[in-house]
Structure 1
Amino acid sequence: MKRMNKILYFGAALVCLLFSSCNDYLNIAPKGNKIPTTLADFEALLRDQYTIGRTPVTNALYLLNDVYLTNSQVNTPSLSRANYMWDESADRIVLNNSDEGTYYVLYGAISSCNLIVENVPTATEATDAERNEVIAYAKVIRALCYDVLVNYYADTYDAATAAEKRSVPLITSAEIDAPYTQVSIQDMYDFIIQDVKEAIEMGLPAKSMTAIHPNLGAGYALLARVYLQMQNYSEALRYANLALEQNDQLYDWNAFYEEHKTALDDPDNYDKIATPMQYDYVENYYLRLGEQSVYDSYEKNIPVERAARFEEGDARFLSRWKLKTDNNDTYYKALESGYFNHGGLTTCEVYLIKAECQARLAEGNDYSEAMNTLNAVRITRIRSEVYCPAEASTLEEALSLIRRTKDNELIFSIVPFADARRYNQEGTYARTLTKTYEGQEYSLSPTSHLWTMPFPAGALNNPGNGTIEQNVTK
């Protein structure tokens, strides 16, 4: 434990060096603290989930209205309120003075990955194969972090403009004051793909060290996600199939609901239930936390209007939320607690990527293969008394059915936000979000500037050895 604390202190120092003005103080190694030299020292960095294993995308969840804000929170001016209420007049750049979690958590993880990629080739007490395995883990994690960042702070990928538009800072060194560039969206996507493919070539294992180390299936799954974002459906389908060859298991949520039915059907029982979406979840390729990092905490509450978008008889919904009223707030209260895989990669996501690609590439209006893939997921979720196989006769119908399931399955992850942006950019299947709050109608246009999050003030005011330009006007 002492060695772990020293290593984590070293990693935290590196993050601080990269993103703050504390350089003069941290140039001196703290007395009594160990600098990592062995492979075990470096690999330990991958095991601290709080610093390297989280993906908080809170304001994307507020924008989608996937997380409930109380009336008191809505009535308090904040970045969260501006996104939740779709307030296009709000200056989110000014409001983002303190909400820096997404930026710094992910760049902190990237810093640790950079440290590993740079230094593990000379780490002691290891074989070349063992070193390559740890580097491969770090490359996949780094690529996933950049994929979230580019889909959060930059415009959506568009092949026609990706080479000209700015994305986010690309930092590949853990050295103090290492120079960096705010690269184009195309350059960032090229880097992400290269990092994952290099990890696979280096021997990313079919069975990783632990659930919090990405395995070979995770590498394929991440490539499928990225190619889908780029609207390269044939490559996304190819990598989705490769991922499913590694693991194609789906969890039986109907069985879970039956096991807890008595408590779940009791309208007055809000006792915690341990989530199955943890380390041994059969759908995991790579377990990564979302915002939550404390085991015994509940999942997020959701608004009543968001709950209505779940399919009738969805056992996953029935097992996770229940209607509750607290004074002036009525919402669906979360029932499950534990560590949730809201930031990682799962078989369910890959099935739904595959289904969309099959629909996009279908010939002759035959969407049966896409619906078969979608139904493979649905039959493990929808109660048998209401389940009917999904069918579609047009691409619009097929995509609508797939998207409904995907938005619900991957709620609290970056995926529904990234998918919405992708559909918005494509135009044909874009949606305007609507809601009613205290008798007033609100809407969010697919062309709204709110779909791109502003860089936090800390990043702009302390850019280190590079420059950052804001990607939104407010």
Structure 2
Amino acid sequence: MKKILFMIMSVLGWMNLTSCNDYLDIVPKGNKIPATLADFEALLRDEYTIGYIPVTNSLYLLNDKFVGQSSLNSVTLTSVNYLWNETADRIVLNNQDEGTYYRSYMAVSTCNLLLEHVPVATEATDSERNEVMAYAKVIRAMSYYILANYYADTYVAATAGTKLSVPLITSADINAPHKQVTIQEIYDFMIKDVKEAIQQGLPRQSKTVIHPNLGAAYAFLARVYLQMANYEEALKYADMALEQNDNLYDWTSYYDTHKEAITKEGSYPSLPSAAGYDYVENYYFRCGEGNPNYATGELNIPVERAAGFEEGDARFLSRWKLRTVNQDTYYQGLARGYFNGAGLTTCEVYLIKAECLARRATGNDFSAAMDVLNKVRKTRILPEVYQPLQVSTLTEAIDLIRRTKDNDLIFTIVPFADARRFNAEGTFARTLSKTWKGQTYTLIPASHLWIMPFPAGAVQNPGNGTITQNVSK
């Protein structure tokens, strides 16, 4: 899967030029203009173009990804986010964090190209064409979800129709006009795309795990509706997703298998990633932070972040180990391989379901929500430590569900999007606090840091449209 055909991107540009000059009909030696469905479908397998979407600065803001002291001694975009520097002008500093923006739109552009040209692709049936188009619509919607929850405010029904989100681009033409739409419009577009994909015949069993299947579509709709605080729809689609796949990986067995290597004093083994392409929890695999062209190591996490894991969490014990190198102490990642950092998994869907059940509970009966949470925890918490959780208030339920979700989906967009959602709701908002070099730092729920600024290149060169920054600095 790693060495799939890479289409020549310049050829894709030629397909969208409006000029009729004869020289455009000349194919360079050794290159190929896509024509068959197989040619176009191969673009979905170019993971570096369509699946490599980092959300690095959101990880810094949450302090999920460790940053060494030497990288914090000057004012950079990294240090501003990691140390919650409210006074720095991130717009000026944002000449480096372009990966999230351009890689997301690269995936969008590929999907747009497929949706424009697959209908006339040769050597295929209508059903086969519809399947490829359905994959493209789900991937495009997921790319817009990352953009909307990174560069714009979170969804709030009362303001979603007036606040700006991100540019909505639906054409692969280089000079196609585009508009920066409202938050409501981008959410409506995502939902429409995915529901059309389902109607178009998205298969229960996709071609590969890097092609989103029917379960992935349901899981993504559950994620989107949760973000919109539409808990009934989120619950409905969570149940539909779990009907497609409800498997959970046994992390306690993984820990037992590798325990000797993990616990050996002074040893930092390179363990195989369990959350790769064959992870039983996958609906859809998308690399996110990890480069899909080669195996990468698990990211390191700060000591303070490690304290947020539940006692006896086998997933934590299997993935990180305390280490000190020179002036830095942190938890070093132990796994190496491929990680599903931007896709969809059953664990996320179970926890969406748990939150929705908790919110609809009556008479302080949170047992259904806790049953779902405990089902997940039983595959994560060592048997000698595990105890089923029970709660009597919604606040307790949300706190426990959120703890497991933040920990299980660390390094993905989800904890960042959830934090923004809870901050906007107010009831479950949190002020983050830490001490670094004797100084206390805080990040309040209303901070402008929760919205990432568009990169300078995008604002200065917006193409055939305009981009308005969603933050003041």
Q: Is TM-score (shorter-chain normalized) higher than 0.5?
A: yes
Partner of 2:20: none
Q: Residues 457 and 153 from structure 1, CA distance in 2 versus in 1: closer, same or farther, beyond 3 angstroms? A: same
Partner of 2:308: 309
Q: CA deviation at 1:194?
A: 0.2
Letter in 1 for 2:337: G
Q: Which of residues 182, 185, 191 in structure 2 aligns to 1:184?
A: 182
Amino acid at match of 1:36: P
Q: What's the secondary structure of 1:337's corresponding residue? A: strand
Would the aligned equivalents of 2:153 and 2:165 in 1 still touch at CA under 8 Å? yes
The count of aligned residue pairs is: 465
1:319 aligns to what SS in structure 2?
helix
Q: 1:112 to 1:448 in 2, by over 3 A?
A: same
Cα separation, partners in 2 of 1:204 and 1:3, compared to 1, 3 Å: closer
Shift of 1:27: 8.1
Q: Which runs of 4+ in 1 moved over 4 A?
A: 13-17, 26-30
Which of 28, 32, 47 is the equivalent residue of 1:31? 28
Q: Aligned residue for 1:235?
A: 233
Q: Name which of structure 1's ranges 73-82 and 443-452 shifts more when overlaid on structure 2.
A: 73-82
CA drift of 1:123 comes to 0.4
Please list, as runs of the form range in 1=range in 2, the aligned pairs for 1:144-293 lying within 5 A after superposition.
Answer: 144-293=142-291
| 1:64/1:3 CA distance change after superposition, 3 Å | closer
Residue by residue over 1:395-450, the C-alpha shift from the partner in whole angstroms, topping out at 9 and shown as x without a partner, is 00000000000000000000000000000000011000011111211110000000
Structure 1 unmatched runs, 5+ = 18-25
Q: Is contact 2:341-2:411 (8 Å) kept?
A: yes
Inter-CA distance 66–3: structure 2 relative to 1 (3 Å threshold): closer
* Counterpart Cα distance in 1 of 2:70 and 2:135: 43
Does structure 2 retain, via aligned residues, the 8 Å contact 1:225–1:353? Answer: yes
Q: How far apart are residue 370 of structure 1 and its match?
A: 0.2
Shift of 1:10: 3.4
Q: Distance in 2 between matches of 1:438 and 1:16?
A: 55
| Inter-CA distance 5–386: structure 2 relative to 1 (3 Å threshold) | closer
Q: Give the residue type in structure 2 aligned to 1:230.
A: M
Superposed CA deviations along residues 44-82 of structure 1, whole A, max 9, x for unmatched, are: 000011110122000000000000000001113211110
- Once the two structures are overlaid, the 10-residue window that deviates more, 391-400 or 263-272, is 263-272
* Distance of aligned partners of 1:31 and 1:277 in 2 relative to their CA distance in 1, 3 Å threshold: same
Contact 1:14 1:176 in 2 (8 A): no
Partner of 1:23: none
* Distance (whole Å) between structure 1 residues aligned to residue 24 and residue 70 of structure 2: 44
Does structure 1 residue 98 correspond to structure 2 residue 99?
Answer: no
The residue type paired with residue 160 of structure 2 is A
1:438 matched residue in structure 2: 437
- 3-state SS of 1:442 partner: strand
Contact kept? 1:7, 1:36, Cα under 8 Å:
no
Quick one: distance in 1 between partners of 2:402 and 2:53? 22
Identity between Structure 1 and Structure 2 (%): 66
- What is the CA-CA distance between 1:295 and the residue it aligns to? 3.1
Alignment of 1:26-425 (within 5 A): 31-32=28-29, 33-293=31-291, 294-425=293-424
The corresponding residue for 2:468 is 469
Asked if the contact 1:8/1:45 (under 8 Å) is kept, the reply is no
Q: Distance in 2 between matches of 1:299 and 1:131?
A: 37
What SS is found at the alignment partner of 1:413? coil
Kindly tell me: are residues 16 and 165 of structure 1, through their superposed partners in 2, closer, same or farther at Cα, counting changes over 3 Å?
A: farther
CA distance in structure 1 between the aligned counterparts of 2:415 and 2:53, rounded to whole angstroms: 14
CA distance in 1, matches of 2:14, 2:421: 34
Report if aligned partners of 2:7, 2:43 keep a CA contact under 8 Å in 1: no
Query: Cα offset for 1:363?
Result: 1.1
Q: CA deviation at 1:2?
A: 11
Q: How far off is 1:5 after superposition?
A: 3.6
Q: Secondary structure at the match of 1:4?
A: coil
- TM-score, L = length of structure 2: 0.96
CA distance in 1, matches of 2:327, 2:174: 51
Cα separation, 2, equivalents of 1:102 and 1:80: 14
Task: Let me know the Cα RMSD of the aligned residues.
Answer: 1.8
Q: Which amino acid aligns with 2:199?
A: E
